[in-house]
Structure formats: C-alpha cells, structure tokens
Amino acid sequence: QQPVQSPQAVILREGEDAVINCSSSKALYSVHWYRQKHGEAPVFLMILLKGGEQKGHEKISASFNEKKQQSSLYLTASQLSYSGTYFCGTEPSSYKYIFGTGTRLKVLA
C-alpha cells in the first residue's frame, strides 16, 4: 500500500511555512523525500534512515517517527522555487520501492 500524504495540495504566499505529512500502514524502515517540478523528473531532497532522525537542507527539513510510521517535511519561509509536487518514498522490502500519493505545493509571490 502506498504511503498516504497530507495535505493533497497547499497554496502558500512567499515567506509562509508548510508541513507535509507521509503516513504508512506498514513499518517504515527509511523515508526518502523528492520534489518534482511540473514536466520534470523527481529530484532527491533527503533520506531519513532511523526513527527520531531529523535532517535539513537550507530551509527544508524533515523528521521521521518510526513508531507512528510517519514522516513530516517542513518548509520554512517558502520561496517561489519550492513550488512543485513532493513525494515521500520508502523501501518496504530490500529492493522494492514505494512512493507516496504526492502533495502539490504552490508558492505565490
């Protein structure tokens, strides 16, 4: 089963913050986050490998709650360049890979 992401879509003004959640009905052993701009390929943002881990890149960070089988992506002081669709991904078995349902983010000037 695909991880479920929420919200499905969000519209922000530049400078506002957003949180995107990724929840799985199965155990999560690692969580990957990707961003896909319209008409382009997904681009890797970060991987979280264990529960409690938090990572950040510039003003985008993420957390991983292994017990709750959930990960959250935090976008702080959003910029126009943050617009796109965000996907979480996980490896339910050694080599299979499953992406979440996606969250469309639009940042307005």
Binder of another protein out of 16, 47, 53, 83 (CB under 8 A): 47
Binder of another protein out of 41, 77, 78, 109 (CB under 8 A): 41
Question: What's the CA gap between 96 and 73, in Å, rounded?
Answer: 23
The string of DSSP codes covering 5-67 is EE-SEEEEETT--EEEEEE-SS--S-EEEEEE-TTS--EEEEEE-STT-EEEETTEEEEEETT
Tokens describing residue 69? 């089988």
Q: How far is the CB of 32 from another protein (least distance, A)?
A: 7
Say how many residues touch another protein, by CB under 8 A: 22
| Contact call for residue 49 and another protein (CB under 8 A) | yes
Region of 11-19, 34-42, 65-73, 75-83 interacting with another protein (CB under 8 A): 34-42
- Positions touching another protein (CB under 8 A) are 2, 32, 34, 40-44, 47, 49, 87, 89, 91, 94-102
